[in-house]
Chain A
Amino acid sequence: MSPKAVRLWLAEALFGFVLLVGCSILVARWVGGSGWSWVPGWFADDPWLLPVVLGVLTTPFLIAEPFVRYAVHRWELSGDVVYTRSGFLTREWVFVPVSRIQTVDKAQGWVERLLGLATLEIRTASHAGSSTIKGLDYEVAAGLAEELARRAEELRDDAT
């Protein structure tokens, strides 16, 4: 992975964080100001507790996630098999033999474009046998996509 991937994951985590806290502020104001009978008194008095608690709870994850992901995420192409490892709380390992690859896509979101990164999507006939490599340097992704496509063409086998 490119070291810049840390920034990508941080940006994504921040986006989620802002969304979560923003929504919780809205919910807290709505519920706190509604005067419904089932709302406990202590909450109606201090509705700002909800976003604060949520924020405090998720901040460690926000900070840890990019670094853990950077430590976990790996990819390797050897012996015509693509191996990827990814995950934060849930780990995933995917083995895809190049001979079974159907398409190789590279994609860039706007954050990725800013950082010069790309995502490589390796697809086979099955969703369970398809893998996605995030946070590659654009040149690396382009080169890998090129190589995989070429090898897949050579090794094409029509069993599926």
Chain B
Amino acid sequence: MTEPPSHPPAPPGPEGSSPIPAGPPPLLPPPVPGRAPLRLSPKVLLIQPVRMIPSLLLPLVGLLFVGGFSGKSYLWAAVGVGVTFAIAVVRWAIFSYEIVSDRLEIKRSLISRSVRTIPLERVRGVDVSTPPMHRLLGLAVLKIDTGASGDAEEGKLDGVTLEEAERLKSVLLRRTRAARAAAHSATASGETISPSASDGASPSVTAAGPAAPPRASGVAAEADREIISVPWTWLLYGPLSGAYLLTPFALAGGAVGLAFQWGDDLGFGRDAALTVGEWLWEHPYLLLAVVLLLVVAMPVVGGVMYAVFNWNFRLTSRDRYLVAERGLINRRSVSLEARRVRGYEIVEGLAERWAGVARVWAIVTGLGDTQTRGQLLPDVPRAVAFKVTGEAIGSYRAELRPHPPIARNRRLFRAIAPWLLPAAATALTALLTAEAAWWIAAVVALLLAGTGIPLGLDRYRSLGHGYDGVRLAVRSGSLRRSQAVVERRAVVGWHLRQTWFQRRAGVYTLTAGVGAGKGGYSAIDVSQSQAIGFPAEVTPEWLAPFMEKGK
């Protein structure tokens, strides 16, 4: 094999706004003429070793303690650091990317060679995030969403400078549009998309929009338009969302695990940790206090985490993309192609409904990692949520139709029965054994069954479905009520299901298959006329052949 182990760093070519200083220059054959592959920022070299430090630290500490402070252990430690750094250098050196006419090529070439080619017209969104280390060094991770299933199919550039990320983002998204426009209409002649260096180098976010050239396809280029900037006071709603509530427990668990692991390595051994555990076990009040402390810390820590992740949430409409930016430490910017947005899902927990706030996710076709990328709004007042989604995607204008009363009985039964059964069982055992503990268990189970009554009633109240001519909506749930609103054209099929119990009650579960988001959104326990009528109303042309024959 005469393959060059790496390409030398890129000279500032036509794409060349990249502020890459000459890295460690490998003495190698000259680059292929006419090509200017770009490297990640060499600063990323600092990140990889630092990231490896935790895994390196333990053997290192062990070495220092066990081997004493001899020169040898230092040597080993130095070798460890050196090897990780060398690996990072090699990884950096063999990785290059470039935009060649209408595609992005990501190359890894050492002895074997892998080239990932992403046609720009396939780019559906760009996700830029800055984890803490990257943030410190002024770097970013750029992920390119191609709508392919599986993470392996995505393009990922880990460690480009912030300016380069902005430049790439605007180039990728704009070229994507241009490629499509050229593909869809031949009128795109005379349109030149030049990745101007001044555009790319601008660190300001807002500079990218106005610089966009007017579209020949008749779509007026849109400047950055801020849809909403969530004020910091609304971050106080965070604890209501129930997100990150378990963080204190996770932290405590992690600390205990670490103590065990390190205890072994540092010499005081597992026994010491076990003795501490036993001692705690013998002082249950202390243990209880610790648990109580953790419980009290739940909303506080959860709220802080929420605030850190959703800090300064901004939703902007830029050049036919919806851009959501958020985060205090890891500033994340996700661009969603508006054309691919098929609807939205409004989610409210019980506490959130009490406070009148809601969260919103976008339903996007071919979007991987929907839970983090698809988030359109953090907790905001309901009215704002509806207004913003209406503005950004389109509002749903119709009443939700209630489901038949038999659905209420089913909701009630399903909320109560799971607790009634153990209540009966424990009560029976209590009668037989006459032990107080069983009575307590029975009473607790009965109380839980009692809470099932309002829960079941509320679940029934949540049920609903509707259609306003453009979008259909389904809603369900009580502890986590979610309403999905989906465009009619996104529906790819209907799935009707009836369990044996539902057959007895004469109700169905109707699922609209949607090629986006979760894949299907269900209307639970609809009556027979609704089960047939709703699909026939939304997509009359599909159901017509079957309507006359009857089911």
Residues of chain A having any CB pair with chain B under 8 Å: 76, 78-79, 81, 83, 87, 89-97, 100, 124-131, 159-160
Contacts and interface: CB of A to CB of B under 8 A. Distances in A.
Contact of A159 (B489, B496, B498, B513): B489
Nearest to A81: B542
B493 A160 contact: no
Given A78-B546, A97-B542, A128-B512, A90 B497 contact: yes
Contacts of B545: 78-79, 81
A124 B513 contact: yes
A91 B544 contact: no
B497 A160 contact: no
A154 to B, nearest CB: 16
Contact of B500 (A90, A128, A131): A90
B495 interface: yes
Contacts of A81: 542-543, 545-546
Contacts of B490: 159-160
Contact of B493 (A90, A91, A131): A131
B496 A128 contact: no
A138 to B, nearest CB: 25
Given A89-B499, A124-B513, A129 B493 contact: yes
B341 interface: no
A130 B493 contact: yes
Contacts of B499: 89-90
Contacts of B500: 89-90
Contacts of A83: 546
B405 interface: no
B395 interface: no
Nearest to B489: A159
A92 B490 CA distance: 22
Interface of B: 342, 365, 489-500, 503, 511-516, 519-520, 535, 539, 541-546, 551
Contact of B495 (A79, A90, A93, A100): A93
A160 B544 CA distance: 22
Given A126-B519, A126-B520, A94 B514 contact: no
Given A97-B492, A160-B489, A160-B515, 8 more contacts: A76-B546, A81-B546, A94-B495, A126-B493, A129-B513, A129-B519, A160-B514, A160-B516
A76 B489 CA distance: 23
A129 to B, nearest CB: 2
A128 B503 contact: no
Contact of A95 (B342, B493, B514, B515): B493
B405 to A, nearest CB: 22
A130 B515 CA distance: 10
A131 B513 CA distance: 11
B414 to A, nearest CB: 16
Contacts of A97: 492-493, 539, 542
Given A79-B545, A100-B492, A159-B489, A126 B497 contact: no
Contacts of A131: 493
B495 A128 contact: yes
Contacts of B497: 90-93
Contacts of A96: 492-493, 513
B493 A100 contact: yes
A126 B515 contact: yes
Contacts of A124: 492-493, 513, 515
A144 B342 CA distance: 31
B520 A129 contact: yes
A60 to B, nearest CB: 15
7 contacts: A79-B542, A79-B544, A81-B542, A95-B543, A96-B513, A129-B493, A130-B513
A160 to B, nearest CB: 3
B417 to A, nearest CB: 19
A121 B496 CA distance: 17
A79 to B, nearest CB: 4
B494 A94 contact: yes
A160 B546 CA distance: 24
A125 to B, nearest CB: 3
Contacts of B539: 97
